[in-house]
């Protein structure tokens, strides 16, 4: 199948509706050329009377072994939201998240635009995650399923695939969020609006802000997040410092993404994103044609969100960062957990890029890898030259204008901190001190170098297992 022509087919259908066998003013649903898209784009039917029907499953995407199909009895049902246009399903994959799953679900249940269905995939949990989720289900009276994964050895990807299989037939838009992420009340409404306005969007990632428990408590008092989000244990000074550094890092990532033309992104972050269901079906059909397993999230990658985003873009879809939706999530609070998380991300990204190669969709990602390695090399070279100069000459001679560079670094960091949402005086002070950001830059250089050595030497490490182990201690 000519997958790269998929986007052109949709464009032709919009520009020449007669070619699809209907008049341009016909208000009935128009179906595009792609046979995998069971939910047509550009619906003009009345959303208030549109039935909650199960459409025929695509022949190439029958559930794989272990997958289940949800029935009406599996859910606590309720009529669809009166103002809804698309059928929204929230997917939450959770592994031992008893401390945060309650706040995450409260934020979903408090949305101005209510979800049509909610699925919590409790994956091999040994704590009270599933029980807490069920208690929210009983109290909410929303379409809600707590699914404890069956024989899942594929961690988050397996949990998401099982949850997706349960609701794929009755969903137009999947909202995927982590179990330690909370959304402001307008998130689902704003996501839906973006997809209704542009039918070429396959996925839309949220803007992320990492907050400490104390900062989250402040947002809860201002009714930006549910009150349960403000009940997390207070963090120590060191933990708050780790949080501030990552808060600044993600603020820079968001600014960079929003500055791009079309706000495009190469990764729909699994922390919080929305993905069109019909686009996932296209990915599944493409995988089947290539002889791969029939599910959206692969089991062979440490960065399943990056791999899925690439497949969507390969099909001609648009993936972007939302200008309106913001998500609040937790940070890694120790060096050990941060190292495990970032090394998993970086090793997984390098492996995917090495497998895909250089093309128009990956050239920016390769450039970012190049810049990361250059940064690591410059830092190591600077220290080596400094030590060599001391050993040779016996003293240090600083040039007259040596201080210009650190001042420029501080100004840039403070500028970024000033632009951060929910900034505090501590955020500005941390950026002005230079040392915390420079120390974090050395950490980044270390995991960039480590990841490339690991991939190029062919070393095989279960990075998922190492991250889970680090976070469980």
- 384-409 pLDDT, tens digit per residue, is 988 888 888 887 777 778 788 889 98
Handedness of CA 295, 300, 301, 307 (dihedral sign): negative
Q: What are phi and psi of 403, to 5 degrees?
A: -75, -10
Nearest C-alpha neighbor of 410 from the set 439, 437, 379, 382: 437
pLDDT tens track, the chain, 473 positions = 444 444 444 434 433 333 333 333 333 333 323 333 333 333 333 333 333 233 333 333 334 434 444 443 444 444 444 455 899 999 999 999 999 999 999 999 999 999 999 999 999 999 999 999 999 987 776 789 999 998 899 999 999 999 999 999 999 999 999 999 999 999 999 999 999 999 999 999 999 999 999 999 999 999 999 999 988 889 999 999 999 999 999 999 999 999 999 999 999 999 999 999 999 999 999 999 999 999 999 999 999 999 999 999 999 999 999 999 999 998 999 999 999 999 999 999 999 999 999 999 999 999 999 999 999 999 999 889 888 888 888 877 777 787 888 899 899 999 999 999 999 999 999 999 989 999 999 999 999 999 999 999 999 888 888 888 888 76
What is d(CA 110, CA 315) in angstroms, rounded to the nearest whole number? Answer: 35
What is d(CA 5, CA 99) in angstroms, rounded to the nearest whole number? Answer: 46
Nearest C-alpha neighbor of 373 from the set 349, 405, 352, 402: 349
CB 313 within 8 A of CB 361: yes
What is d(CA 342, CA 253) in angstroms, rounded to the nearest whole number? Answer: 15
Question: Which pLDDT score is estimated for 217?
Answer: 92
CB 91 within 8 A of CB 156: no
Dig out the tokens for 393 from the structure: 């000459």
What is d(CA 365, CA 363) in angstroms, rounded to the nearest whole number? Answer: 5
What is d(CA 287, CA 61) in angstroms, rounded to the nearest whole number? Answer: 9
Three-state secondary structure along the chain? CCHHHHHHHHHHHHHCHHHHCCCCCCCCCCCCCCCCCCCCCCCCCCCCCCCCCCCCCCHHHCCCCCCCCCCHHHCCCCCCCCCCCCCEEEEEEECCCCCCHHHHHHHHHCCCCCCCEEEEEECCCCCCHHHHHHHHHHHHCCCEEEEECCCCCCHHHHHHHHHHHHHHHHCCEEEEEECCEECCCCHHHHHHHHHHHCCCEEEEEEEEEECCHHHHHHHHHCCCCCHHHHCCCCCCHHHHHHHHHHHHHHHHHHHHHHHCHHHECCCCCCCEEEEEHHHHHHHHHHHHHCCCCCCCCCCCCCCHHHHHHHHHHHCCCEEEEEEEEEEEECCCCCHHHHHHHHHHHHHHHHHHHHHHCCCCCCHHHHHHHHHHHHHHHHHHHHHHHHHHHHHHHCCCCCCCCCCHHHHHHHHHHHHHHHHCCCCCHHHHHHHHCCHHHHHHHHHHHHHHHHHHHHHHCCCCCCHHHHHHHHHHC
pLDDT, tens only, 119-128: 999 999 999 9
Nearest C-alpha neighbor of 224 from the set 326, 139, 323, 322: 326
Question: Which pLDDT score is estimated for 80?
Answer: 46
Question: Which pLDDT score is estimated for 7?
Answer: 43
CB 448 within 8 A of CB 343: no
């Amino acid at each position: 199948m000519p997958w790269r022509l998929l986007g052109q087919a949709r464009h032709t259908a919009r520009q020449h509706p007669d070619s699809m066998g209907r008049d341009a003013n016909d208000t009935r649903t128009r179906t595009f050329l792609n046979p995998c898209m069971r939910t047509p784009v550009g619906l003009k039917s009345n959303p208030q009377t549109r039935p909650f029907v199960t459409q025929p499953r695509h022949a190439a995407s029958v559930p794989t072994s272990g997958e289940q199909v949800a029935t009406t009895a599996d859910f606590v049902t309720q009529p669809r939201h009166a103002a809804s246009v698309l059928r929204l399903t929230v997917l939450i994959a959770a592994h031992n998240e008893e401390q945060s799953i309650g706040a995450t679900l409260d934020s979903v249940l408090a949305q101005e635009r209510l979800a049509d269905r909610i699925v919590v995939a409790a994956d091999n949990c040994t704590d009270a995650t599933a029980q807490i989720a069920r208690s929210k289900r009983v109290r909410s009276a929303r379409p809600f399923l707590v699914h404890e994964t069956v024989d899942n050895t594929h961690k988050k990807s397996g949990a998401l695939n099982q949850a997706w299989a349960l609701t794929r037939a009755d969903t137009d838009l999947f909202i995927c969020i982590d179990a330690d992420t909370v959304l402001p009340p307008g998130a689902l409404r704003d996501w839906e609006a973006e997809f209704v306005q542009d039918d070429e969007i396959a996925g839309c990632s949220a803007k992320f802000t990492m907050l400490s428990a104390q900062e989250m408590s402040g947002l809860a008092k201002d009714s930006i997040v549910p009150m349960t989000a403000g009940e997390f244990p207070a963090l120590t000074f060191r933990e708050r410092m780790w949080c501030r550094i990552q808060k600044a890092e993600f603020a820079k990532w968001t600014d960079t993404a929003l500055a791009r033309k079309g706000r495009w992104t190469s990764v729909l972050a699994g922390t919080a994103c929305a993905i069109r269901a019909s686009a996932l079906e296209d990915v599944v059909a493409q995988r089947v044609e290539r002889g791969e397993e029939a599910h959206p999230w692969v089991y062979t990658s440490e960065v399943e969100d990056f791999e899925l985003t690439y497949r969507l873009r390969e099909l001609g879809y648009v993936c972007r960062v939302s200008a309106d939706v913001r998500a609040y999530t937790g940070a890694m609070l120790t060096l050990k957990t941060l190292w495990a998380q970032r090394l998993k991300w970086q090793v997984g990204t390098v492996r995917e890029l090495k497998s895909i190669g250089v093309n128009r969709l990956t050239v920016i990602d390769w450039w970012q890898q190049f810049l990361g390695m250059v940064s690591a090399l410059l830092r190591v070279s600077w220290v080596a030259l400094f030590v060599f100069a001391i050993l040779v000459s016996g003293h240090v001679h600083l040039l007259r204008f040596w201080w210009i560079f650190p001042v420029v670094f501080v100004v840039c960091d403070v500028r970024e901190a000033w632009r951060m949402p929910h900034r505090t005086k501590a955020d500005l002070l941390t950026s002005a001190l230079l040392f915390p950001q420079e120390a974090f830059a050395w950490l980044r250089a270390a995991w960039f170098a480590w990841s490339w050595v690991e991939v190029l030497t062919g070393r095989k490490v279960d990075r998922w297992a190492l991250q889970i182990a680090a976070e469980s201690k």
